[in-house]
C-alpha cells in the first residue's frame, strides 16, 4: 500500500509536453485536487519525459496505471472530478498506444 490513494505524474520537462500546455495541466490538477479536499490523499507531481513525445500533454495516474494523452485544462478538470474524486477513468483522454516507447517526435 502506497502513501497516496492516487499518485499523478505530469510530463512537464520533456521536449514537447511543456510546449503543449503541460504546466497549466499540472497546475489545474494540483489546484483541483486541493479544492476537492484531496490534499494528503492525492499527490500530483511534475515528471520528466515518458517517451510518448507528441502525444502530450501526458498524465499518468497510479496505482491505476492509466495513461492519459493530449490532456488540456478541460481534461485535467475532468480527471480531477471523474477519476480522482469519482474513481472512473476518463475514456476520452486515455492514451491508446502499444506498450513501450511511442514518440511521434524526438
Interacting residues with ligand FES (CB under 6 A): 11, 14-17, 49-50, 52-53, 56, 58
Of residues 39, 17, 25, the one with CA closest to residue 75: 25
Closest residue to ligand FES, based on beta-carbon distance: 14
Q: Which residues pair with 62 in a beta bridge?
A: 7
Q: How far is the CB of 15 from ligand FES (least distance, A)?
A: 5
Residue 71's nearest CA partner among 36, 15, 13, 28 is 28
> What's the closest the beta carbon of residue 96 comes to ligand FES, in angstroms?
15
* Minimum CB distance to ligand FES smaller for 70 or for 81: 70
* Closer residue to ligand FES in complex, CB, 92/106: 106
Q: What is the largest CA-CA distance in the chain?
A: 38
> What phi and psi, each to the nearest 5 degrees, are found at residue 75?
-65, -40
Q: Which of 72/81 has CB closer to ligand FES?
A: 72
Amino acid at each position: 500500500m502506497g502513501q497516496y490513494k492516487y499518485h499523478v505524474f505530469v510530463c512537464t520537462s520533456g521536449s514537447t509536453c511543456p510546449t503543449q500546455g503541460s504546466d497549466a495541466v499540472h497546475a489545474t490538477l494540483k489546484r483541483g485536487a486541493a479544492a476537492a479536499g484531496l490534499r494528503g490523499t492525492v499527490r500530483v507531481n511534475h515528471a520528466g519525459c515518458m517517451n510518448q513525445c507528441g502525444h502530450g500533454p501526458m498524465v499518468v495516474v497510479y496505482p491505476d496505471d492509466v495513461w492519459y494523452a493530449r490532456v488540456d485544462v478541460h481534461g485535467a478538470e475532468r480527471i480531477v472530478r471523474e477519476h480522482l474524486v469519482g474513481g472512473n477513468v476518463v475514456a476520452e483522454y486515455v492514451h491508446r498506444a502499444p506498450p513501450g516507447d511511442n514518440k511521434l517526435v524526438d
